[in-house]
């Protein structure tokens, strides 16, 4: 049992999700994820919910804290995408579920009905889907075989679905035409347009071309996927779409034989009432009609990930640095203010953190940061109330309360922050706080080996004690379960005895009823014979 728990503890990693709130500074919320590909995935949704789109309850209320999505089936979630008022997810089995507000067929169920919980898109049940993307009015899905499916409201005369006609599709339909025989590897949905990347690195866009969002050098709309000619010959890695702009990561090579690098290209324009520009193209000199290399602070950077909000962009580089630019309202850029940025600007609050991924919502930004799992005595006992955890309780590091479990990081008599794990009932005893990550001091090899051996020894002893305590708790709980099983078995035996008695009584009653019926029949026959004889005697 102890060895099993050791393996379980060793397999866990701490990951922290950060969302830039109204003040423009990261607000930390912690979750536990598992690297085991066989383990079930799940999703926790929170924050600004418009018209109940991501609220799993029938009542359309805002959800201000993370809440597990309720479903009638077990959802082994692999990937999830959010639109303005609807959501789509993909399971590890390749199934697609959607829910939210129905409008123009964007849920893909073929009926005009809102759904407050995940519902299987039955028209894709036989198609192995691996990725989904949501726009405001439409949804896209990508199969493992490289086929692209789109559905939703196509009546805006902009070719939003890529089928060549301006009509809605209430169920998924495969996009053919220029994508026929091509293997699509990535898809992104904006408000009015979409973009796809093929296995050869070609980039195609379609939809509303207003303000040059499609990158074809004009403002014309395209009703079918069309390759971006200015990037032809270059290898596109990934793409992201905003409301009226697009950004793509392009792999480039300076000279033959030289290792490749990744650059960021953007095109399009910002449009609001009054034609205000927010600078999300990352280049003040761009006209927005054609793709343009974003340089400035990104010169020499290897761009790993990119994501577009409605009016802002965020990228994650190979140096583990996050840059944002565009509209700064609501603090979506994470720079501690509400100012717009027209060039990529590093998010200083994430400078010392190990960022795993970055994603933009319409007016906010979120990142996933990796943290270590708490080890030692704090793993099994609540820091606040000193009580042992049960097998059904989990603890997490971080600085906020998530699903009733809180864990804080604070100094206790020293300048170094300490990870602490607390019970649900003790979360009010340890106030939430975030301490900055301190850089490690430089050590010589001898010092490092000495400290490392000491730390490993202390941690091993503490871990063993912790696991033994947890093992005792599990043993007690197993004993209780055995007693419950024994009690239930006794009740079952008693019920079986009662059932046998009832069966016997029923059989006896049936026998008595049969005997009574026979006697009544015999008496009736005798009476009839006697009556017949009497009639004959009277007649004589």
List the domain boundaries for the chain: 14-371
CB-based contacts of 539: which residues, under 8 Å, 6+ apart? Answer: none
503 token code pair: 């069966």
Residue-wise pLDDT tens digits, 199-240: 999 999 999 988 888 888 888 999 999 999 888 888 888 899
Beta carbons of 367 and 334 less than 8 angstroms apart: no
Query: In DSSP terms, which residues pair with 44 in a beta bridge?
Result: 68
Give the mean model confidence (pLDDT) for residues 357-377: 71
The pLDDT value recorded for residue 365 is: 81
Beta carbons of 404 and 415 less than 8 angstroms apart: no
Indicate whether 32 pLDDT > 60: no
451 token code pair: 């400290």
The pLDDT value recorded for residue 218 is: 87
The pLDDT value recorded for residue 40 is: 42
Q: List the single range of 6-15, 261-270, 481-490 with lowest mean pLDDT.
A: 6-15
Count Cβ atoms below 10 Å from residue 125 Cβ, excluding itself.
Answer: 11
Element (H, E) at 476: helix 445-539
The pLDDT value recorded for residue 417 is: 45
Of 67 and 30, the one with more pLDDT = 67
> With bands split at pLDDT 50, 70 and 90, how would you rate the model's confidence at 166?
confident
Q: Which of 190-194, 443-447, 463-467, 471-475 has the highest mean pLDDT?
A: 190-194
CB-based contacts of 491: which residues, under 8 Å, 6+ apart? Answer: none
> Considering the chain, what is the average pLDDT of its residues?
71
> With bands split at pLDDT 50, 70 and 90, how would you rate the model's confidence at 439?
very low
> With bands split at pLDDT 50, 70 and 90, how would you rate the model's confidence at 179?
very high
Long-range contacts of 432-436 (CB under 8 A, 24+ apart): 432/399, 432/400, 432/401, 432/406, 432/408, 433/399, 433/408, 433/409, 434/28, 434/399, 434/409, 435/409, 435/410, 435/411, 436/352
Give the mean model confidence (pLDDT) for residues 153-161: 86
Beta carbons of 252 and 234 less than 8 angstroms apart: yes
CA distance 188 to 206: 11
Indicate whether 159 pLDDT > 70: yes
Domain 14-371 has CATH 3.40.50.150: no
Give the mean model confidence (pLDDT) for residues 71-93: 83
> With bands split at pLDDT 50, 70 and 90, how would you rate the model's confidence at 33?
very low
Of 354 and 200, the one with more pLDDT = 200
Give the mean model confidence (pLDDT) for residues 509-529: 77
Give the mean model confidence (pLDDT) for residues 450-456: 53
The pLDDT value recorded for residue 319 is: 85
């Amino acid at each position: 049992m102890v060895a099993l728990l050791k393996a379980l503890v060793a397999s866990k990693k701490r990951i922290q999700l950060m969302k830039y709130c109204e003040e423009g500074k990261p607000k930390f919320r912690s979750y536990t994820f598992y690297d085991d590909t066989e383990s079930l995935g799940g999703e926790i949704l929170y924050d600004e919910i418009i018209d109940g789109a991501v609220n799993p309850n029938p009542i359309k209320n805002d959800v201000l804290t993370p809440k597990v999505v309720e479903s009638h089936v077990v959802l082994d979630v692999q990937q999830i995408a959010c639109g303005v008022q609807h959501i789509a997810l993909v399971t590890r089995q390749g199934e697609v579920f959607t829910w939210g507000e129905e409008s123009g067929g964007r849920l893909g169920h073929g009926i005009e009905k809102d759904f407050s919980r995940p519902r299987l898109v039955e028209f894709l049940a036989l198609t192995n889907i691996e990725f989904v993307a949501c726009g405001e009015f439409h949804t896209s899905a990508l199969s493992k075989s490289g086929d692209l499916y789109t559905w939703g409201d196509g009546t805006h005369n902009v070719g939003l679905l890529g089928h060549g006609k301006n009509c809605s599709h209430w169920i998924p339909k495969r996009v053919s035409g220029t994508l026929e025989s091509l293997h699509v590897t990535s898809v992104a949905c904006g408000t009015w347009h979409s973009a796809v990347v093929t296995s050869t690195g070609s980039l195609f866009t379609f939809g509303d071309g207003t303000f040059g969002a499609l990158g074809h050098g004009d403002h014309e709309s395209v009703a079918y996927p069309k390759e971006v000619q200015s990037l032809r010959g270059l290898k596109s890695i990934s793409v992201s779409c905003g409301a009226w702009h697009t950004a793509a990561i392009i792999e480039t090579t300076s000279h033959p034989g030289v290792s490749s690098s990744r650059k960021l290209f953007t095109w399009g324009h910002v449009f609001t009432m009054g034609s205000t520009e927010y600078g999300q193209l990352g280049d003040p000199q761009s006209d927005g009609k054609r793709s343009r290399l974003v340089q400035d602070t990104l010169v020499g950077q290897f761009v790993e990930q990119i994501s577009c909000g409605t009016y802002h962009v965020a990228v994650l580089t190979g140096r583990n640095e996050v840059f944002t630019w565009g509209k700064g309202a609501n603090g979506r850029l994470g720079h501690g203010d509400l100012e717009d940025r027209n060039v990529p600007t590093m998010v200083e609050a994430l400078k010392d953190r190990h960022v795993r991924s970055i994603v933009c919502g319409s007016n906010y930004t979120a990142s996933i940061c990796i943290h270590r799992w708490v080890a030692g005595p704090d793993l099994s006992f609540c820091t606040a109330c000193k009580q042992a955890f049960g097998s059904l309780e989990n603890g997490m590091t971080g600085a906020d309360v998530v699903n009733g479990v809180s864990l804080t990081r604070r100094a206790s008599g020293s300048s170094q922050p300490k990870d602490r794990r607390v019970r649900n009932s003790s979360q009010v005893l340890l106030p939430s706080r975030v301490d900055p990550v301190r850089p490690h001091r430089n050590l010589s090899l001898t010092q490092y080996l000495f400290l490392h051996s000491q730390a490993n020894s202390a941690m091993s002893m503490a871990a063993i004690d912790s696991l033994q305590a947890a093992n005792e708790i599990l043993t007690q709980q197993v004993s209780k379960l055995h007693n419950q099983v024994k009690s239930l078995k006794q009740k079952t035996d008693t019920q079986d005895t009662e059932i046998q008695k009832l069966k016997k009584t029923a059989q006896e009653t049936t026998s008595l009823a049969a005997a009574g019926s026979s006697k009544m029949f015999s008496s009736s026959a005798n009476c009839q014979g006697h009556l017949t004889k009497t009639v004959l005697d009277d007649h004589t």
